[in-house]
Structure 1
Amino acid sequence: MAEAVARTSYGRLVARLARRWGDLSRAEDALSDAFERALRSWPGSGLPDQPEAWLLKTAHRRLIDGARQSGVQARAEPEIERLLDELTERDDPDALPDERLGLMLACAHPDLDPTLHTPLMLQAVLGLDAARIGAAFLISPAAMGQRLSRGKARLRERGARFDLPGKDELAARITPVLDAIYAAYGTGWDEIGASESRVRGLVGEALYLSRLLTELAPEIADVWGLYALIAHCEARTPARRDAEGRFIPLSEQDPQLWDAALISQAENALRRSLKLAPPARYALEASIQSVHAERRVTAETNWLAAAALYDAMIRHAPSLGALTARACAHGEAFGAERALDSLEKLQGQASEYQPYWAALAHWSARAGRREDAARAYDRAIVLSADPAVRVYLVKSRGALLR
């Protein structure tokens, strides 16, 4: 019982406690204690009529006890007691304001190292522990725990606020939150070479957070764009491996295996984004995925449209991944030599980037440059973390000899 409440309520309760007390670490500790008490008492006494209210009151009580012992916030105690009395009188615990967006904005505070934004958000909003988060980012639980503790201490030192800003300020501050959620999604399924366990590790959490943002900030266009992007990518999951676990690249996937319901949700979110504002980074990326999704209906990909969208996207986010994908789209639209020309310009920054070498191998083979393709396949194979991808690339390299 307590586990089910934790999944749906953890972030709501932490956000409310953190805003009231101004300290994320203390809020998490108090709520953890409340859940431990629930695990001990609820199996015997039954689920309370208002489980969220029970947990929130219990956590507040612990924080008040701590304040009494330390002498901190003694003058604020009457106000907190009043809030607790109001809470117990509520008939509907869902009437509590949802303050998770304020918590997410605090986790993406500009004074924090950007690499901490995603881990902090995963822990504060979803309650994931350091071991789970560390595994997703290939960092030991101890090291991740230390990073998270330092990040929370930094927020406390800076006096970070956990309340919601006005609409204009929200629009200015939302981008780091979106970036952090997208980072949780991983390197992306279509970037050949990412470890399956790593990419799959936080997919559900990223999809959940992106959907949550559409409820908390529905007036922000890129919020809908991000959800559309992640939903479109996730819709292709059933087709990425065959029954034996073999890797299947996007171009070879059976589109009838894609999740039609999730594609529909993605398309609705993309339309909502484009109605709110001209397309920015995430809406453009989602539009590219929408072009791929059309293959489920038309049986072909409109590569001219994809190439044009990539041209627009790199003006917003000229990352190595985007530039590599753009080269591939141009290759499909205009021929292998166009792809190779674009890839050649990236070579100086792509020595350790596996998708670049996989793309170079593919387009060198398409252009009839077998020796170049073989060398690129060798490099791509070495850089591949996923055994299934390595097997696929070894097979593709072997086909050069036939």
Structure 2
Amino acid sequence: MSDPHEAARAAEDAARRSYGKLIAFLAARSHDVAGAEDALSEAFATALADWPVNGVPRSPEAWLLTVARRKVIDALRQRRHDEAASEQMLWLAELALDDEDDSVIPDRRLGLLFACAHPGIDAGVRAPLMLQVVLGFDAATIASAFLVAPAAMGQRLSRAKAKIRQAGIGFEVPQGEALSERLVFVLDAVYAAYSEGWSDPQGADARRRNLADEAIWLGRLTASLLPDEGEALGLLSLMLHAHARRHARRDAQGQYVPLQEQDPKTWDAAMIDEAEALLSRANRCEGSGRYQLEAAVQSAHAVRRLTGRADWPAIAQLYEALHTLTDSPVAALNRAVALAEVQGPQAGLAALDVVAADVRMADYQPYWAARADLLARSGAVDGAKQAYRRAIGLESDPAVRHFLQQRAASL
């Protein structure tokens, strides 16, 4: 008899290491992600009953696949009377042929990621779907992390899986130009998951505590499976650069500390070094995209740990390139802030006036915070106070709101 705690740890390790790999393998032919999840869930339940008695198998991953595959076969046999009986019998035959060798499991997780981010899947559910089918998050946890009612999130996930099955969305990895076009959806979904975790800098919200780490794990997976795609490397570099500063965003009293005032000694140097190495690799790849440019911006901020000052001219140029590439008003806003550091607050305000024409800026808190700061620096106190009031009213984070209130009061 094995130690029950050892068996539980082995099952947990297998889930962390292989959950998405097993789901991708089981669902690759049938496109039935929900069926694969049910089968694997039963396999894990069987493992928790069997392993404490018979010991942890030499290859937990292969053991789980064997049991899960049998569960899939049993489920398909029970559905043979359906209209798709001939197709199901084909899957059964293929599963039976594969049954001879579980020692080497093909890694189809990249195809699973592309299925989750297929254009036919609603953009708002792509990131949650990845977290569930690749990492094994339950719907309630995902719902809490994305601040959605559990029932609503469960319905969205179920509909997305049904779409994959009914539309026959394949797990193939696109080739050529199609790869770059579809990869954007995958990377955007991973970054959306990271952004949700990033919004809780202190990890005080249990609903979001591990989301940023899990998104980085997805980013590592994508970059490892696509080592020659500069944008995959760029996204991982961007997330690591941001994550390296996670402990510097609040002081010991929990007060907000803006990037320019953070102490570089509190940044995670090893993580920054890894981010820099990834960005260097990305720059050697053909072409460049949004995530490589954004990672380069973070790198230009990180240089302050060596020189004492961010490379503002480079930051302004990078944001100009980002705005040209994406036509994003946020990129234009950040370029204006960088210009103020290079040419003075009046130059920054002139650039902000151009951005103000975009109606999306009317309720965008960073625009009003930037405007307030530049007006204050240029001596326009009344205008700065009005802009600060607008920024404070739009800010939901208590720490950032308190920071803005202090800046307004100092005028």
Q: How many residues align?
A: 393
Change (3 A) 1:200 1:362: farther
Amino acid at match of 1:173: R
Aligned to 1:21: 30
Aligned to 2:3: none
Q: Does the 8 Å CA contact 2:202/2:247 hold for their aligned counterparts?
A: no
The answer for unaligned runs of 5 or more in structure 1 is none
Query: By how many angstroms is 1:69 displaced?
Result: 1.2
Matches within 5 A, 1:2-401: 2-71=11-80, 72=85, 73-87=88-102, 90=103, 95-186=104-195, 197=205, 201-347=210-356, 348-400=359-411
CA RMSD of aligned residues (A): 2.1
Amino acid at match of 1:126: L
Distance 1:31 1:383 in 2: 45
Distance 2:56 2:395 in 1: 48
Query: By how many angstroms is 1:207 displaced?
Result: 1.0
Could you tell me the TM-score, scaled by structure 1's length? Answer: 0.92
1:86 counterpart SS class: coil
2:101 counterpart SS class: helix
Distance 2:323 2:269 in 1: 29
Change (3 A) 1:76 1:304: closer
Distance 2:249 2:170 in 1: 42
Distance 1:331 1:142 in 2: 47
* Stretch deviating more after TM superposition (389-398 or 32-41): 32-41
Percent of residue pairs bearing the same amino acid type: 47
Amino acid at match of 1:17: L
Distance 1:129 1:20 in 2: 24
Q: Does the 8 Å CA contact 1:193/1:354 hold for their aligned counterparts?
A: no
Amino acid at match of 2:65: L
Query: By how many angstroms is 1:112 displaced?
Result: 1.6
Q: Does the 8 Å CA contact 1:26/1:63 hold for their aligned counterparts?
A: yes
Query: By how many angstroms is 1:66 displaced?
Result: 0.9
Query: By how many angstroms is 1:204 displaced?
Result: 0.5
Distance 1:316 1:199 in 2: 31
Distance 1:184 1:10 in 2: 18
Q: Does the 8 Å CA contact 2:115/2:171 hold for their aligned counterparts?
A: yes
Query: By how many angstroms is 1:387 displaced?
Result: 1.4
Query: By how many angstroms is 1:135 displaced?
Result: 2.0
Amino acid at match of 1:227: L
* Stretch deviating more after TM superposition (149-158 or 314-323): 314-323
Distance 1:196 1:117 in 2: 25
Distance 2:152 2:284 in 1: 44
Query: By how many angstroms is 1:196 displaced?
Result: 7.2
Q: Does the 8 Å CA contact 1:34/1:59 hold for their aligned counterparts?
A: yes
Query: By how many angstroms is 1:77 displaced?
Result: 2.6
Deviations 1:348-385 (A, max 9, x none): 32222111121111111111111221122122222222
Q: Does the 8 Å CA contact 1:307/1:326 hold for their aligned counterparts?
A: yes
Distance 1:220 1:206 in 2: 18
1:340 counterpart SS class: helix
Query: By how many angstroms is 1:396 displaced?
Result: 1.1
Change (3 A) 1:64 1:259: same
The answer for unaligned runs of 5 or more in structure 2 is 1-8
